[in-house]
Chain A
Amino acid sequence: MSRVMALGAIRTNWRSSNISVVTRLAAASAVLGVLLIVAMLASLSMGPVSIPVTHVASIVLEPIGLDFATYSRTEELVIEQLRLPRIIVGALVGMALGVAGATMQGLFRNPMADPGIIGVSAGGALGAVIAIALGISGIFYQALSAFAFLGAMGAAFLVYGIATVGGRFNMATLLLAGVAVSAFFGAIVSAIMILVPSNEALREILFWLTGGLDSRSWEHVRLAAPPIIGASAIIFVMSRDLNLLMLGDDEAKSMGVRVGAIRPGLLAAASLITGVAVAVSGTIAFVGLVVPHMLRLVVGPDHRVLIPLSAVGGALFMVIADTIARTVVQPAEFRVGIITAFVGAPFFIFLLIRNKRHTTAF
């Protein structure tokens, strides 16, 4: 189906009863939610330290009084301090990338848009690479995340600044500015990689650029959860407006959308959660592109459904990918960014081939 037809579907559907939206959302959320819980519990049960499932269940359910198995202190600490925070950070990052991807694809009316399209990922990468090259990342805790976040936000402000004229910005200019800033920052990263004297630092940069969830702690959960959950909620609230923006600015305005406020608001929220995700996990490719796209093939382009499902779907995808990353060659680890591409790309291609004759996306 063409983009025009898809927009027509939105035009027709958004006026239809909210009950159908709620029903679709509830049904799909229930399915994905159950899958996410199962994936998180399975992930909690797997790792280099062998812990019986009954012990895992007992440790997880102990806070609500269901303590039915005897487990060791080490098992408890492995679950509580090592696996659980890592899984939660993974879910948050997946949620952020999924929501940001769906938002960017909607805003740019382009299914190939991803969270990094306006330079946020490249900025985060540059910040992290500077921290590594200067040796700051090994000296004080959270330096890498802080630098990555500053880089991501710096890139976002720079791109917005370039695209803004007289207090308003043009989406085409924004897109081009994002491409240019990403390329420029990418060149700086490459230059640093050539000039950095230490092999360890070089290896560290390469590893960071593929994204990972190594050694994520409750500190990272505390850092990532409020902005990701908060900004995702804001995007969800604005999802009806995002639907209307896809009809074009004039039509959206005629339906009461404050285009001048909603669009930068959505961009800022999507940039924020992408920046936070990059800060705690490095640049993980493919999640923000493939998850919303896959879900759109299943549930259609209505962002009132797509945004929350992209959150749950992104979380599910990341939890599965990270479980594979940390167990497939244990006690060594794979980079989760490699797994997301390995798992996501073939599945994405499969869906594209399967749906190419009757795709309804855009």
Chain B
Amino acid sequence: MNSLKSVVVLMGVLMLVLAACSSGSNGDSTSAPAAPVAPLSTVLNGVPGIVDPTNTGWPRTVDVLNGLVTIDAKPERILTVSLGHDEVTYAMVPASRVVATGSYTKLAQHSNVAHLAEAVGAITLDAEQVVSYNPDLVIASPFTKADFIDALRNVGIPVVQTKLHNDPDGRIQDIILLGYVYGEVDRALELADEVRARYDALREVTGSKPVSDRQRVLSLTSYSDKIYTAGANSTEGGIIEAADGINVAALAGLDGNPTTSLEGVISMAPEVIFIPQPPDSGEPFREQLLANPALAEVPAIKNGRVYVVPNKFFTTLSFWNLRGAEHLALLLWPDDFNSGEFVGFSFPE
């Protein structure tokens, strides 16, 4: 009987120890002390996609674009298929936990994490190739084909398909959701605070401007004679709004990234034009715009306010767009930013 008591007591102690371990490694940091459960669950409670905000252990379940997905353990071999997700992922986890990225992520002209992604493999959307990297989690975008996701599921690899947003609140939620998926909620909250603080700093400047001072802004890119603009619900449109400009393409009723014409540019009468494409093609396009006599009366052309901007800040879809908004705000309000220099975002140590 005594020995039975001893066994029961021992098991109880063991369970308490295990519970403590589980709480201490609540999935969000391997070495940090346990975060207080109540505040954390409160934060997680407001994030769409997190099924049980009180569950900070493993397994954990998220409700995402491809349905309910359960992740059994903290992912250590992460593979993502879109540039935006890659940028959020590298900001959240040590680079050693990423096993492969999309090929676009490796191009420094387009990607803000190219320096981190250069060491890992590049994938196409071939399921077998993805399997060859032996990932324990794949992150997919809304554009990833359903059969690709199904193929990975069938071989037992969990796939989390999420949409990345282009508004400030949506970006914060994207960061926290992926932080939860990766078991890096602490780091996610830290990054969310960083992003939020920079949005606030930007708003502090732009928000002080009278409405009448808001400038009419147009995003243009040109590839092989065709001219594209950015209307409502576009990444560049979100950046214009974040910089407190007036997106004239959205004002003209355009949505997404349709083609337009030089005559369309005249009719939209922008005061500022920015060209988010690499300098080797962006500069010649800028010169064409400035030299075209038909555009001479367009305010942006007349005043020489046509700028080629780093496309990796403007065309990716991640919180790095905030860096683009800062860049644009500096062009719109050059006297209001003391240093005129902005830095990148932090990465996990």
Contact = CB atoms under 8 A, between A and B. Distances in A.
Contacts of A78: 263, 266, 294
B225 A215 contact: yes
Interface in B73-112: 103-104, 107, 110
Interface residues of A, number: 39
Nearest to B292: A81
Nearest to B277: A200
A331 B292 CA distance: 18
Interface stretch (B61-69, B159-167, B251-259, B324-332): B251-259
A4 interface: no
A157 B183 CA distance: 62
A332 B259 contact: yes
B261 A215 contact: yes
Contacts of A49: 263, 266-267
B297 A137 contact: no
A136 to B, nearest CB: 9
A139 interface: yes
B258 A47 contact: no
A332 B266 contact: no
Interface stretch (A104-112, A114-122, A204-212): A204-212
Contacts of A131: 224
B347 to A, nearest CB: 25
A333 interface: yes
B264 A199 contact: no
| Best-surrounded residue of A73, A81, A138, A212 (most CB of chain B within 10 A) | A138
A330 B296 contact: no
B264 A331 contact: yes
Contacts of A207: 226, 259
Interface in A197-221: 197-201, 203-204, 207-208, 212, 214-215
Contact of A214 (B110, B227, B254, B294): B227
* Consensus secondary structure, chain B interface: mixed
B261 A82 contact: yes
Contacts of A50: 267
Interface in B267-317: 267-268, 277, 280-281, 284-285, 292-294, 296-297
Interface residues of B, number: 37
A204 B281 CA distance: 14
B13 interface: no
B259 A48 contact: no
B267 to A, nearest CB: 4
A47 B265 CA distance: 11
A78 B267 CA distance: 11
Contacts of A331: 229, 249, 252, 254, 260-261, 263-265, 267-268
B101 to A, nearest CB: 13
A304 interface: no
A353 interface: no
B263 A199 contact: no
B221 interface: yes
B233 interface: no
Contacts of B249: 331
B259 A139 contact: no
B284 A139 contact: yes
Contacts of A72: 297
A74 interface: yes
A83 interface: yes
A326 B263 CA distance: 10
B142 to A, nearest CB: 15
A199 B102 CA distance: 12
Contacts of B261: 48, 82, 214-215, 326, 331, 333
B266 A138 contact: no
Given A82-B294, A332-B229, A204 B264 contact: no
Nearest to B226: A214
Given A73-B297, A138-B280, A48 B224 contact: no
A307 to B, nearest CB: 31
B260 A212 contact: no
Interface in A4-57: 47-50
Contacts of B225: 137, 144, 214-215
A82 B289 CA distance: 13
A204 B263 contact: no
Given A74-B296, A144-B225, A331-B254, A139 B280 contact: yes
B312 to A, nearest CB: 13
Given A77-B296, A137-B223, A331-B268, 12 more contacts: A73-B297, A74-B294, A74-B296, A74-B297, A78-B266, A82-B294, A197-B103, A201-B223, A214-B259, A215-B227, A331-B260, A331-B264
Which 8 pairs across A and B sit closest by C-beta, in order of nearness?
A331-B264, A138-B281, A332-B258, A48-B267, A77-B294, A137-B224, A81-B294, A204-B223
8 contacts: A48-B264, A83-B263, A138-B222, A208-B224, A214-B261, A331-B260, A332-B260, A333-B264
Interface of B: 103-104, 107, 110, 221-227, 229, 231, 249, 252, 254, 258-268, 277, 280-281, 284-285, 292-294, 296-297
Interface of A: 47-50, 72-74, 77-78, 81-83, 128, 131-132, 135, 137-139, 144, 197-201, 203-204, 207-208, 212, 214-215, 326, 329-333, 335
